């Protein structure tokens, strides 16, 4: 008798709405026969009776699934609304010391100009003929993850004996990019923030006229002349040298990057090419701890 009654109710509801009110339809079955283990269908389905539209009782998916937390093997699904594998990236384990950037801004600018000159000599027509492409290559110069920006990992920040300045010293091997590496990278980005548009335009015009700047001229254009793009930034080459606080602690020692055995052999077998016009930027090859100061 109950089955006949439910069939009639289901048929009538489907004719009117296209979907029955599940909580009403199942209301009388809570204690019947083998259905006892299903619990309260209205709770399990999270309110499938109230939705509108063509689906009748579907409603909001998160609401529909909200009550499924206690149903059998679904206990680990507290709802469909809050998942997702996204989120913010983990914090940088070795953040830059931004207060140190002004102490190395001028030295970083000079090193960047020399490296940019060397790198630009490798560019082909597809890059040199496009100002936008040149801008992209210039931006890579401060990205330590790129080949063009890996030069930063060779440098170390070293306090002078009198404590009045911080020099950049280049080692003969790339190092781990930790606090000082990231600080130099930040200084590089700050220089480009001041100089990237002018430098890009200068390089583009030089390539177009086939009158390339040498390293010294590019350094002057970026860093050292009175009207250089980055000359007057905080700590720039034309600005007054900032005083280093007496209580500033010296940074960590340079840590050479350890390559896997096969990569070490490959790295040692390949000669390091450099097109820098300034020979002072070349490292002394034999010892890892030997370094040259960037004045």
SS3 of residue 285 by DSSP: coil
What is the chain's mean pLDDT, rounded?
Answer: 73
Which residues contact residue 225 at a Cβ distance below 8 angstroms, ignoring those fewer than 6 apart? 231, 238
Of the candidates 175, 190, 115, the residue with the CA atom closest to the CA atom of residue 149: 115
Q: What is the pLDDT of residue 63?
A: 44
CA distances from 135 to 127, 193, 195, 198, 242 (A): 9, 12, 11, 10, 30
Query: 66-80: buried (b, 16+ CB within 10 Å) or exposed (e) per residue?
Result: bbbeeeeeeeeeebe
Map tokens 């209301």 to a residue.
27
Residue 198: count of CB within 10 angstroms of its CB: 15
Map tokens 């679904």 to a residue.
74
Query: In the chain, pLDDT over 90 holds for what percent of residues?
Result: 49
Statement: residue 153 has pLDDT above 60: yes
Rounded to whole angstroms, how far apart are CA atoms 50 and 37? 24
Rounded to whole angstroms, how far apart are CA atoms 94 and 92? 5
Reported as a pLDDT band with limits 50, 70 and 90, residue 86 is low
Read off the tokens for 162. Answer: 């009198």
Reported as a pLDDT band with limits 50, 70 and 90, residue 262 is low
Q: What is the pLDDT of residue 162?
A: 86
Q: Kindly report, residue by residue over 72-84, the tens digit of the pLDDT.
A: 444 444 444 444 4
Rounded to whole angstroms, how far apart are CA atoms 158 and 155? 10
Q: Kindly report, residue by residue over 10-59, the tens digit of the pLDDT.
A: 444 444 444 444 444 444 344 333 333 344 444 444 334 333 333 444 44
| C-alpha neighbours within 13 Å on the C-beta side of residue 215 | 20
Reported as a pLDDT band with limits 50, 70 and 90, residue 275 is very low
Q: Kindly report, residue by residue over 170-193, the tens digit of the pLDDT.
A: 999 999 999 999 999 999 999 999
Asked if residue 281 lies in contact with residue 114, where contact means CB atoms within 8 angstroms, the answer is yes
Residue 256: count of CB within 10 angstroms of its CB: 15
Of the candidates 16, 169, 33, the residue with the CA atom closest to the CA atom of residue 104: 169
CA 172 to chain centre: 27
Rounded to whole angstroms, how far apart are CA atoms 291 and 295? 13
Reported as a pLDDT band with limits 50, 70 and 90, residue 265 is low
Asked if residue 20 lies in contact with residue 14, where contact means CB atoms within 8 angstroms, the answer is yes
Reported as a pLDDT band with limits 50, 70 and 90, residue 268 is very low
Of the candidates 218, 190, 182, 164, the residue with the CA atom closest to the CA atom of residue 106: 190
Statement: residue 114 has pLDDT above 60: yes
């Amino acid at each position: 008798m109950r089955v006949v009654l439910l069939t009639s109710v289901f048929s009538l509801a489907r004719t009117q709405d296209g979907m029955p009110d599940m909580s009403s339809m199942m209301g009388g079955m809570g204690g019947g026969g083998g259905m006892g283990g299903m619990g309260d269908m209205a709770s399990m389905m999270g309110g499938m009776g109230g939705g509108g539209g063509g689906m009748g009782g579907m409603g909001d998916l998160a609401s529909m699934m909200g009550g499924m937390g206690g149903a059998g093997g679904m206990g680990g699904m507290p709802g469909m609304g809050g998942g997702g594998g996204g989120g913010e990236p983990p914090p940088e384990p070795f953040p830059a010391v931004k207060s140190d950037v002004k102490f190395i801004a001028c030295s970083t600018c000079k090193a960047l100009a020399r490296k940019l000159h060397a790198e630009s000599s490798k560019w082909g027509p597809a890059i040199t003929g496009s100002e936008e492409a040149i801008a992209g290559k210039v931006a890579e110069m401060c990205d330590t993850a790129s080949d063009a920006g890996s030069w930063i990992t060779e440098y170390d920040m070293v306090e002078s004996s009198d404590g009045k300045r911080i020099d950049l010293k280049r080692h003969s091997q790339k190092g781990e990019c930790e606090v000082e590496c990231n600080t130099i990278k930040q200084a590089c980005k700050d220089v480009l923030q001041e100089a990237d548009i002018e430098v890009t335009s200068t390089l583009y015009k030089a390539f177009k006229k086939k009158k390339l700047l040498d390293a010294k001229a590019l350094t002057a254009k970026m860093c050292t002349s009175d009207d250089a793009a980055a000359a007057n930034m905080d700590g720039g080459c034309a600005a007054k040298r900032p005083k280093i606080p007496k209580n500033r602690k010296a940074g960590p020692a340079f840590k050479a990057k350890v390559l896997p055995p096969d990569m070490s052999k490959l790295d040692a077998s390949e000669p390091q090419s450099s097109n820098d016009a300034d020979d002072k930027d070349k490292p002394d090859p034999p010892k890892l701890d030997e370094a040259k100061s960037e004045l």
